Amino acid sequence: QMMDIADATVLRGVLQALVGAGWVLVATCNRTPAEFAASTMQREHPQSRFAEAMAEHCDTLQLGDGSRDYREGQLAAPQPSYFCPCEGGSAVPSPAAQLDRCFVDLTGGAAADEEVAIGAGRRMRLVSGRGVARASFERLCGTALGAGDYVALAQRYHTLCVDDLPQMSLRQRDQARRFITLVDQLYNHKTRLPPPPPPP
């Protein structure tokens, strides 16, 4: 779903140019073009026009009936998939303490401060060891970083731990978008993201 009008307008033009040049487009999506169009408030929204262009130039194929979750067939991960509960007790460590333990286990206690290259010749300081890195949400998503920076991190590390994840609202729209981009790039490069402790 494209929330940015400019993105939808540009992509519609790109799609039409590719089809006009004889290209074949193969893409997957969790929604059909009709559902994309229905998610906008008005028909003249660029996303609706992009969805109409998709429906005009592309055949929609349904892959499966959606009844099977293929993730359930994967082997269980050696580390927890989610840290809970939100409040730790004497018997259950807090999520932050669980993330601390996960980071120590993955790095063998050999983590150290490191300055690494990211996009556009810039550098970032974080804590890392044995292919595992750790940084705060503010450092990763509160500054002017983009997909290229996150790709550089994903290519360098097999696991990235994020501290101090806030509870976001529309007032943190830029940070939320960066976090979505970060998660997308980590997923694309098969870089693990241990679940950040939930905000208080």
Tens of pLDDT, residue by residue over 107-126, are 999 999 999 999 888 999 99
Query: Which pLDDT value is given to residue 58?
Result: 84
Query: Which pLDDT value is given to residue 154?
Result: 96
Tens of pLDDT, residue by residue over 79-92, are 665 565 555 555 66
> In angstroms, rounded to a whole number, what is the distance separating the alpha carbons of residues 90 and 170?
36
User: Listing from the earlier edge strand, what are the strands of the sheet with 132-136?
Assistant: 112-117, 123-129, 132-136, 159-163
Query: Which pLDDT value is given to residue 98?
Result: 84
Query: Which pLDDT value is given to residue 86?
Result: 55
Ranges under pLDDT 50 in the chain: none
Query: Which pLDDT value is given to residue 150?
Result: 96
Query: Which pLDDT value is given to residue 196?
Result: 73
Query: Which pLDDT value is given to residue 27?
Result: 83
Per DSSP bridges, beta strands 132-136 and 159-163 are parallel
Instruction: Report in angstroms the alpha-carbon separations of 119 from 7, 29, 137.
Output: 22, 28, 18
Q: Which H/E stretch holds residue 75?
A: none
